[in-house]
Amino acid sequence: MENLSVRIATFNVSMEARNYQSDSAQLNAAVLDQQLQSDSAQIANIAAIIQQVRPDILLLNEFDRTANPEQTIELFQQHYLNAGLNPIEFPYRYSAPVNTGELFPMDLNGDGNISRPADTYGFGFFPGHYGMLILSRYPIALDRVRTFAKFKWKDMPAALAPKINGKPFYSAAQWQEMRLSSKSHWDVPVLIGDREIHLLASHPTPPVFDGAEDRNGRRNHDEIRLWFDYISGQADYLYDDVGERGSLTEGQSFVIAGDLNASATEGDGHRVIMQQLLSHPKIQDPAPTSVGGEQARPDQQGSEYHTAAWGMRADYVLPSSDLSIVGSGVFWPALDDAQHELVKSRRASSDHRLVWVDISL
């Protein structure tokens, strides 16, 4: 039988309301729909990048979840992905609720009110802000998807609970309620012929925008650690959103994908967790590169591996060790390439780059 090459990609597309609306009072889930029904140069460039790379399975981070997700996804498909000279069709989609913008039942910032964005399970101005979306050319086993949005941080053994001056940062009641995932963690089985690959999708919180308690840095660490435990058979403690417990089944093929907001060598996060994940015996790291990334930071060692405009490797596609990798890359054209206009700024498309890996089945 002839081998089949499958391209799996992740792309933080910055298709979130604050990228289009500066007035925080006007931020809501309808902002993205309005953009998708207009002639948005930024979204057109995002579509052009996707059309150029042509992934078979694609995780989008920072794609707001709206009141009618299927309608929003169809607007993106019909008005942008199907437009131009090189249209691309994704007949299979997966979207689900995320923790961003969901009100926490207690006052987290001590201002006497429970309000967004400060008093939420995950930072956001409305439910679904900074959401996630999976697009696929291959069928998704929707009846076997697992989501972990409601898993409590306290239930992770040896969780890195935030502390200030050696004392817990969160009150006992807050800690009992706090969820680990800032958006969600999804285990999405994709069916490719007679093979099944589990796309392990997430978007951990940036390890910044906090204080000495390091609540975001510690949360980022443990959000990444969830996948480490999940693929290691060490997640008996983990329960999904319907109450089922346990790790990924031994022998299952998987790909970890997403904007992990962490690096093994740079940035403000806990680098050790990325070092551990990238060296995990069940994971292959193809370390995709680009000329554009190297040119953007010519004096920074390892800049060819960068996936974010500010100069860091933040976005990953990490296949399990049983899969055969035949190619990889970061869409970051060289400065003298005409397509560099697509990535010259966040306003042009995003402050992240699309990362892809080809596997042979």
What pLDDT, on a 0 to 100 scale, did the predictor assign at position 1? 53
Residue 158 confidence (pLDDT) above 70: yes
Region 307-320 average pLDDT: 98
Region 72-91 average pLDDT: 97
Residue 163 confidence (pLDDT) above 60: yes
- Percent of the chain exceeding pLDDT 90 equals 99
What pLDDT, on a 0 to 100 scale, did the predictor assign at position 3? 87
Residue 174 confidence (pLDDT) above 90: yes
Taking the C-alpha atoms of residue 303 and residue 292, their distance in angstroms, rounded to an integer, is 9
Residue 50 confidence (pLDDT) above 70: yes
User: What are the sequence ranges of the domains in the chain?
Assistant: 5-360
Mean pLDDT rounded to a whole number for the chain:
97
Residue 283 confidence (pLDDT) above 80: yes
Region 328-338 average pLDDT: 98
Q: CB within 8 A of 147, min separation 6: which ones?
A: 96, 184, 185, 186, 187, 240, 241
Region 134-159 average pLDDT: 98
Confidence of residue 2 (pLDDT cuts 50, 70, 90): confident
C-alpha pair distances (Å), 25 with each of 9, 21, 22, 101, 242: 34, 9, 9, 14, 34
Q: What angle do CA 277, 278, 281 make, to 5 degrees?
A: 80
What pLDDT, on a 0 to 100 scale, did the predictor assign at position 32? 98
- State pTM to two decimals: 0.98
Write out pLDDT tens, residues 23-44. Answer: 999 999 999 999 999 999 999 9
Region 160-178 average pLDDT: 97
Residue 323 confidence (pLDDT) above 70: yes
Write out pLDDT tens, residues 192-236. Answer: 999 999 999 999 999 999 999 999 999 999 999 999 999 999 999
Question: Yes or no: is domain 5-360 CATH 3.40.50.300?
Answer: no
Residue 140 confidence (pLDDT) above 70: yes
What pLDDT, on a 0 to 100 scale, did the predictor assign at position 12? 98
- Percent of the chain exceeding pLDDT 70 equals 100
Residue 152 confidence (pLDDT) above 60: yes
